[in-house]
Amino acid sequence: MLKHTNFRISSEFDDSFGLSARMNIKPMNIFKKLNSLFQCRFGPVLLAVILLCTASLLTRISLLVYSSASFEWSLTNLLKVFVIGLFYDLAAASYAIIPLILYLWIFPSRWYSKKISKILILAYFFVVIFTLIFNAISEWIFWEEFSVRYNFIAVDYLVYTTEVIGNIRQSYPVIPILTILLVLSAFITYLLRKKVWESTLIPMRFANRSKLLLLFLIAPIATYFLVSHNWKNQSRNQYVNELSGNGMYDFGFAFWHNELDYDTFYKTIPLEKALSIIRKDLNFLPVNLRNRNTIRNIKADSAEKRMNVILISVESLSAEFLGSYGNTQGITPNLDSLAKEGLLFTNLYASGTRTVRGLEALSLCIPPTPGQSIVKRPNNKNLFTLGSVFRSKGYSSRFIYGGYGYFDNMNEFFSQNGYQVTDRNALSEKEIHYENTWGVADEDLFTLSLRELDKDYKSKKPFFAHIMTVSNHRPYTYPEGRVDIPSHTGREGAVKYTDYAIGRFIREAKLKPWFGNTLFVIVADHCASSAGKVELPVDKYHIPMIIYSPAHIKPGKFEKLVAQIDIGPSILGLLNFSYQSKFFGQDVFKMKDQQQRAFISTYQSLGYLKNNKLIILDPNKKSNTFTPNFKTGASKVIPSESWLTDEAVAHYQLASYLYSSGGYHQ
């Protein structure tokens, strides 16, 4: 028992907190007062909360300093970051302390004098301390890559441990880092051991422990039902909003909310009105106007061109990397050469910030729905896809990937939606010159692709092949001697290597008998970074595209605004295909000026670009209109126009409705 000088104990409950019913307390400094709070049965709970909040505070300060150039500095924003941030820190702590609360509630004080008890409670604190330090480092790395707190990407990283752990091991000195973390965690735990043990020895009856248990459990229960993930979004500066959050809390939110029901969270209009807007925008030749769908007849005005199509979606290739868009580093000589020989799209925007969003846009040609990409959702089989249209025309339709196709559910999605899937399993060890955790080097991917396409040609079937590259990704490793930038030195080297691999592929394809009748489409899946000062920085969605076919496509530039979902219908338009379409994308070669628009998004912010304006739809039925700066990504709030907002709502609302109701299935 700890001695309590100048205290008169009136009850066991008071004694457990070291408090006097008569409150006859002599003056003491703030440190002694704080110390007295630990002198109770549940003192370790308070200690755990302080540890978590301190670690979160230090992490927040570190990220703030790192992002100081993009942070909008003001006293108001600093208060938002640290006050709202503390609130989320406490919310996260309320969950973390549940095991400790239950442990202190279940066992009587005599149990804690046993050696096993000391080991268990110190083990809890060791795990907490190690987790906090490990999380701080992980948040730093995640922020460095994405400039956001944990989100769906972080959740995915837990699912695909082989690729992610491999990526981390190839990018960082993992063993030394873990060794330091273990030693540091053990040292801090050792320093706290007496404080933890002494407080647990204070006796408390089961009834009183139960009262405190209920009191402590109010916090996580209230957090679950009452706290909104959107309370942190109080600023127009995205860095302010992200720093106001808590990484662990955001991770939990992303884990439980991988899909957001559109009608529940977003602005809506009557469904019939949404249908009428879409039908007008897409110049409908409807099959049946009475049905709630987007089925329409696409009729070509000339004979079909039975050309082969090779669609290369390049990992993380921002437009700003190419010399054709103003880059002066000279890291894309092959792509720049192809841009001069083919049709270069100068005003194309990606749907999202991840590969699965790019794959969704290129295959389904549908606006991004809030939450996780459809590629990774349930009930995503037998959908209307670009591959299914080609297959209906007698084509061999392929998806070829340099990694293992189970990653991001690619094998399952493409094989069930009109594609034949080929991944790195199709390559023998002798055929692989280099590989990292994400897949084989792009040159080996293209060697595999040529082999598969030759098979299709020999079978006398036209082919459509969607080829997905992997080399332009951290850890930025590739075979030595291919480019003049050493492997594992940064993004620029990976970009130049991918450019080398594409150039080599085109040169080898020129020797094939099928080259003259083949349309090559080279496009990025998304940009290398999505970080910006605003919610949706448009410059971080600007991607390149080149359509190359010397015998069929004249060199030039296409400067109209194009959405990533327009690529599929535009390819079919170039081939003069007649078909029944459910696509939201349009043939840009036939669209009118007033039909130009694009879609950009995060997992919860939905953007609609039109007439040099950006409409953003957010949860809680919010909508705002901005004038974006297409070079810097900055944006300024302007008064909304109801017809333009309705257009944005119509596309996103109907896309979500058709997917959830099965209307986008074959």
Can you point out the beta strands (E) in 350-462?
396-401, 420-422, 435-436, 439-440
Q: Above 50 in pLDDT, residue 305?
A: yes
Would you state the structure tokens that stand for residue 107, as one six-digit string?
A: 């066992």
The per-residue pLDDT for 7 is: 34
Tens digits of per-residue pLDDT, 130-164? 999 998 998 988 888 777 788 766 776 665 556 56
The per-residue pLDDT for 372 is: 85
| CB-CB neighbours of 440 under 10 Å | 24
In the chain, which residues fall in CATH 3.40.720.10? 263-661
| 263-661: CATH, from 3.40.720.10, 3.30.200.20, 3.40.50.1360, 3.30.9.90 | 3.40.720.10
Residues 6+ apart with CB under 8 A from 537: 238, 530, 531, 633, 634, 635
Would you state the structure tokens that stand for residue 87, as one six-digit string?
A: 């609130």
Lowest-pLDDT range, 128-142, 290-304, 380-394? 290-304
The per-residue pLDDT for 535 is: 86
Backbone angles phi, psi at 424, to 5 degrees: -65, -15
Q: What is the pTM for the complete model shown?
A: 0.75
The per-residue pLDDT for 290 is: 58
Identify the three-state secondary structure at position 61: helix
Chain Cα centroid distance, residue 138: 16
Tens digits of per-residue pLDDT, 326-350? 999 999 999 999 999 999 999 999 9
Q: What is the pLDDT averaged over residues 102-131?
A: 81
